[in-house]
Amino acid sequence: MTDQPDTPAPRALATALARDMAESDAFRTALADLIAFRTDATRPDSALTLAAYLDHVEAGLRATGFETERVAADGHPFLIARRIEDAARPTVLGYSHGDTVPGMEGRWQQGRDPWTLTEEPETGRLYGRGIADNKGQFLVNLTALQAVMAARGGTLGFNALWIIEMGEEIGSPGLRSLCAEHKDDFAADLLLASDGPRIEAAQPTIFLGARGGHTFKLHLKRRDGGRHSGNFGGVLRNPGLEMAHALATIADARGAIQVPGWTPEGGVPDPVRRALAGLIPAGGEVDDGWGEPELSPAERVHGWNSAEILAFTCGTPDQPVNAIPPEATAWVQLRHVTGLDEDRLAAHLRAHLDAQGFGDIEVTEDGPAFAASATPPDHPAAAFAAGSLARTQGVAPVVLPSLGGSLPNDIFTDLLGLPTVWVPHSYPGCSQHAPDEHLPKALLPEAASLMAGLYWDLGEVDRAELRRQD
């Protein structure tokens, strides 16, 4: 009798199949099809394109065995997908967004079209608007689900819900009201989603929440029209100089925040500090001596707050003239972890500027805002997900308490009451929100394999193991 080759165990079959599927021509074609939709939600004429994208994704989800529903909330479109196999099994809520930032046509290197998937063989990179944020990440997760179903004989072993929105890049309008209206329909044991970057390309990563983001417009107007800088210099207030001095009071010379109420009391919590020990954030692009003293770079990004000047204008920068400008405007953004009174952030800034002698500067909140949210690092769902990724990869993933950027994660933690686990399939250098958005080609099959292992394990776990016993 001849020896028969070993048959892979079902879990290993699922992870291997997901990897093979993500390396296939069919995956490449599917990715190209998603990128081809010009889903820039900032365009006033984008409604038809956004709807067409949802039509396309809906067909794919239906082919995977999901029931789908198209709804609108606050005038914005959403796709809800459901696959309910057994009410006694865990229910997992997924989330993705199909909208993108503007394509920035004409600014991509080598004449690349942002809406066409292109490969650079020399670097192994795939380019296209949305490949990292968030179309490519969505396709990885859908591929992993399909691989698990194939390996498990047509079932997942758990119940899957999915929300797909088309306005994340403009502040997720309608998402909160949608979840409030459908709160019972979205009852689940866990939010499992993918967005944002890994801590570095080769390091599987989990993050459990997101920093909040609030942008404030500071405006100071002294008069109508400029005044000759020679004839009036030294006797008239210069709004540009005044604004510069006001901005310098918001953070010190090394970038540490000085506004009372803009940093959490008590410092970085011990569980967060332990989770971040030894990590290097931002792909290693760290300036020495910058940020909150006594904190590591990882703690500054993933466990603390930062205040950044996004823009500062006065006069005519494109053509300076010999005149004292009549007004100055600056935009300041606060990125923050949990622990602040978010309803009073503008009031705290107002009080600080008044105390520093800049009561004439107007302060208004400008643009979309995100609340801070996080699932505790010691939550059972977080430990389960980390263990699953380690089982697939052979090494433990990095677990970040919070993404450095912002997501509507608070809707899932606070409104729906779910633990949230995000498994990102991008990396810090992907150029999302910029020209030449890309991903390393090799990252996609690895990510699909990791997600297939995680989805497989969710089909094996008891619901009680994902819940925190408080």
Residue ranges covered by each domain of the chain: 10-210+372-466, 212-276+288-365
Confidence of residue 2 (pLDDT cuts 50, 70, 90): very low
Residue 469 above 80 pLDDT? no
SS3 301: helix
Residues recorded for the chain: 470
92 in Cβ contact with 177 (< 8 Å): no
Peptide bond connecting 159 to the previous residue in cis, omega within 30 degrees of 0: no
Provide the phi-psi class of 62: left if phi over 0, else alpha when psi is between -120 and 50, else beta. alpha
Tens-place pLDDT, residues 69-92: 999 999 999 999 999 999 999 999
Tens-place pLDDT, residues 198-247: 999 999 999 999 999 999 999 999 999 999 999 999 999 999 999 999 99
CA distance linking residue 140 with residue 125, whole number of Å = 16
228 in Cβ contact with 323 (< 8 Å): yes
Q: In terms of CATH architecture, what is 10-210+372-466?
A: 3-Layer(aba) Sandwich (3.40)
**Structure tokens belonging to residue 347:** 């009031």
Which CATH number is 212-276+288-365 given? 3.30.70.360
- C-beta atoms surrounding 210 within 10 Å: 29
Indicate the pTM of the whole model.
0.89
CA distance linking residue 197 with residue 439, whole number of Å = 10
Q: What rounded mean pLDDT belongs to the chain? A: 95
Tens-place pLDDT, residues 379-415: 999 999 999 999 999 999 999 999 988 889 999 999 9
Tens-place pLDDT, residues 259-301: 999 999 989 999 899 989 999 888 889 999 999 999 999 999 9
Tens-place pLDDT, residues 47-56: 999 999 999 9
Smallest Cα–Cα separation from 117: which of 102, 133, 130? Answer: 130
Which pLDDT value is given to residue 79? 98
285 in Cβ contact with 428 (< 8 Å): yes
